[in-house]
Homo-oligomer: A and B are copies of this chain.
Amino acid sequence: MFQPITIKDIAKALGLSTSTVSRALTDRYEISAETKKLVLEYAEKIGYQPNPIAQSLKERRSHSIGVVVAEVANNYFSQAINGIESIAYNRGYHVIITQTHESFDREVVNVQHMASRGVDGLLISLSSETQNLSHIKYLHEKGLPMVFFDRVANEIETHKVIANNYQGAFDATEHLIKSGSRKIAHLTSSPNLSITAERFDGYRAALAQYNVPFNPAYLLHCEHGGMIQAEVELAVTQLLALADRPDAILIASDRLSAGCLSSLKMHGIKVPTDIAIAGFTNSDVADLFNPAMTTIRQPAFKIGQIATEMLISLIESKHPVTEFETRMLDAELVVRESSGAAL
């Protein structure tokens, strides 16, 4: 019923064979200029559109790449997706986005679904629940090209693109210390995630460099990546109840940042007078409304772009690739000189 015009129709109408028409259309073969012109003009006239499904079946590629992220409703990821799209679009690839909602099971299903659906490659940012990687390893061993970004799997050998989380956390912690804080808590995401470890290391290194002792009671994990407000609420309450109450918090993610600020407000704690805050976030809205918070901003768009370039090069490389690269981009520390009102 829909899109009935095929190469056959053109061939019949023009008294040519389907192969000649195909050649005229694909341009790669010897063909007389006039036949080509004839075909192209007629195809244009009747609005011929090649059937990409048939093409895929033949070429054994779909010209689409699959993306696995936790949540589209997350500024980091939506910016990364924009970066991914900007490259994929220009290189003639479709982008299929799936969300895990931080669930391991969803991740498994999505990855398998896309693989069976014939994506040419995968851009993956792991869910916070993921510990077992066999679903991905399997596909990797089968030769499906993949690139990890942000939340990477160290045990899988392929290209990876990340922000310099270590440096970002280091800089932010250093800033807090230099601003007078010594009792710096760290509110962070699931220990499963690579970013969690990287950020923690940066935090520890900065503490060490300035001879600030690390207090294990100051380290709190929110398994759900800040999705569940109650979890953040509990963590904040716990921090505030400590005998040696922290005078600063380094927050490891976008959603955690928002949740934490909200909790503090409910507790009547003022930022930055009562407590100083530095956090990873790509939210422009948080940025807008809370100039009292120092933020570490990741180059999400750029990360998406680079990951996509890498993936396409893997897909299109003729020979099996054996050299893999981990690309690390600087995160930007945005310090606000207490210009705005306190929260």
Interface residues of A (CB under 8 A from B): 1-3, 49-54, 56-57, 62, 71-73, 75, 78-79, 81-82, 85, 94-99, 113, 115-118, 142-144, 258, 261-262, 265, 283-286, 288-290, 340-341, 343
- A164 to B98: give the CA distance in the assembly, Å: 29
Identify A265's interface contact among B2, B96, B340, CB under 8 A: B340
State the oligomeric state as a number of copies: 2
Q: Tell which of A95, A97, A261 has the most Cβ of chain B within 10 Å.
A: A97
Which listed residue (B57, B73, B113, B117) contacts A75, Cβ 8 A? B73
CA distance A313 to B265 in the complex (A): 46
Known: A142-B2, A288-B261. A118 touches B51 (CB 8 A): yes
Partner of A72, one of B2, B53, B82: B82
Q: B78 near A72 (CB under 8 angstroms)?
A: yes
Partner of A285, one of B97, B99, B142, B286: B286
Residues from chain B with a CB closer than 8 A to the CB of A75 are 73
Residue of B nearest to A342 (CB): B341
Q: Can you name 16 A-B pairs with beta carbons within 8 Å? A: A53-B62, A53-B118, A72-B78, A72-B81, A73-B78, A73-B79, A82-B99, A85-B98, A94-B117, A262-B289, A265-B340, A283-B285, A289-B289, A289-B290, A289-B343, A341-B343
